[in-house]
Amino acid sequence: MKSTSERILDAAEDLFAEKGYSATSLGDVADQVGIRSPSLYNHFKNKEALYGAVIERLLTVFTEIMAEMSEGELTRDRILNWLETIVRLHHETPNLARLLQHAALSGGPQTGEIIERLFKPMFSPDQRAIGGDEMFMMLGDANLQPWAVMALNNVVMSYITMAPMYRHMIGIDPFGPDALEKQLAMILKLAGAVMDYKG
């Protein structure tokens, strides 16, 4: 049985992911949990604190895998395995992508910290996952690195945020296992094509 704090976090995460920070009220969250609003303040001091706790819980899931690529020799296989792990993680934890997309569109607290922890490692000039002698994933031009990183992120994360709109066209649940396997196959082939890019 989940604690009240956990149930509040679950409800808040779903609501922030659907409606964004500004459009979500603590009353909505309390209603969803089935408690009265004042009780919510026993657990989180205000909306910003609740949002911060939701973000923290989501980021924790991704921290380990993001750190993994900063150590050891980078091979083509390691990069593809890492990508597969990231894609599966976003499908298991779709609310992070949704929350970040809302924050990018409409603003929200703690955006700077999210960027610092989740994205910055991927944009470092010496980040070997996308740099290195072989210019993996730079499409032959180091100046394009940040744009290639953004594209990769968008292919992975925006599938989560945009897929509901495509559901009718692809004919299957975009979050079901069959769709995930197709998304994975496409991303791994795309990454392969980029790594093989000869200009």
Q: Which residues of the shown chain bind a second copy in the complex (CB under 8 A)?
A: 17-20, 22-23, 98, 100-106, 111-112, 114-115, 119-120, 123, 139-141, 143-144, 146-148, 150-151, 153-155, 157-159, 161-166, 168-170, 182-183, 185-187, 189-190, 192-194, 196-197, 199
The CB-based long-range contact list for 147-154 (8 Å cut-off, 24+ gap) reads 148/194, 149/122, 149/123, 152/191, 153/119, 153/122
Which residue, 21 or 43, has its beta carbon nearer to a second copy?
A: 21
Minimum distance, C-beta of residue 71 to a second copy, in the bound complex (Å): 22
SS3 state at 74:
coil
Residue 1 near residue 18, CB atoms below 8 Å: no
| Residue 171 burial (C-beta neighbours within 10 Å; 0-12, 13-18, 19+) | exposed
Taking the complex as a whole, the smallest distance from the CB of residue 116 to a second copy amounts, in Å, to: 9
Backbone angles phi, psi at 69, to 5 degrees: -80, -5
Output 22 or 42, the one with its CB closest to a second copy. Answer: 22
- Least Å distance between CB 101 and a second copy? 6
Longest dimension (CA), the chain: 61
Q: Identify which of residues 61 and 105 has a Cβ nearer to a second copy in the complex.
A: 105
Task: Map residue 7 onto helix, strand or coil.
Answer: helix
H-assigned helices in 34-75 = 37-40, 47-68
